[in-house]
Every structure is written in C-alpha cells, then in structure tokens.
Amino acid sequence: MHWMQAYAVHHSDIQQQGERLRQLELERAMKRLMRGDDPQEVLNAMAQGLTNKFLHGSLHALQHSNGAERDALMKLLPKLFASHPKPEDH
C-alpha cells in the first residue's frame, strides 16, 4: 500500500474512533442532563471522560513498553498531543 493510502486509512480510522468516543460521552452527558444533574458537573465529567479516553491508549502503550520502544514513544507522544507544533518540529 502506498504511504499516502496508508495515511488516509489510518487518518480515517483515528477520526472514526474519535467520533465514537465523542458520541459515547455525549450520550452519557445527555442522560445525566435529562435526569436533572447540574449542567456544570455534567460538562466537567464529559470533558474529563473525553480526555481520559483520548489519552488512555497512548499512556497504556507507554506504560507497557520498554527500551528503545519506550524511548521512541517518549519522543513521539509530545508531538502527537501538541496543540501547536513548535517551529523546530516542522
């Protein structure tokens, strides 16, 4: 598979997983709101839930790696989660 095709497939998979996580947390929040829970608490829980879900896989991989794999992950993960890449990372 050409690298651009592989990139497109992985990009699509990541987007679909993100959408599933978003939908799951949104449904959970809507149920809580319909029960009459405090909206601020619901939003905080939803934000925390999304954060935990997005970070879980990467942190799990880091915790269960060693040696060269751990070193590579420790260099890569900050780049993957940076909201604004540093100029030297381009």
> What does each C-alpha distance from 62 to 15, 16, 47, 74 come to in angstroms?
22, 23, 23, 7
What's the CA gap between 52 and 30, in Å, rounded?
Answer: 19
Contact of 43 with 33, CB cutoff 8 Å: no
Position 43 confidence tier, pLDDT thresholds 50, 70, 90: very high
Q: How far is CA 55 from the centre of its chain?
A: 5
- Mean pLDDT value across the chain: 88
Tokens of 29: 């929040």
Q: What is the pLDDT of residue 12?
A: 86
Position 24 confidence tier, pLDDT thresholds 50, 70, 90: very high
What's the CA gap between 79 and 86, in Å, rounded?
Answer: 9
pLDDT at residue 35 above 90?
yes
pLDDT, average across residues 2-15:
79
Place of tokens 């050409």: 2
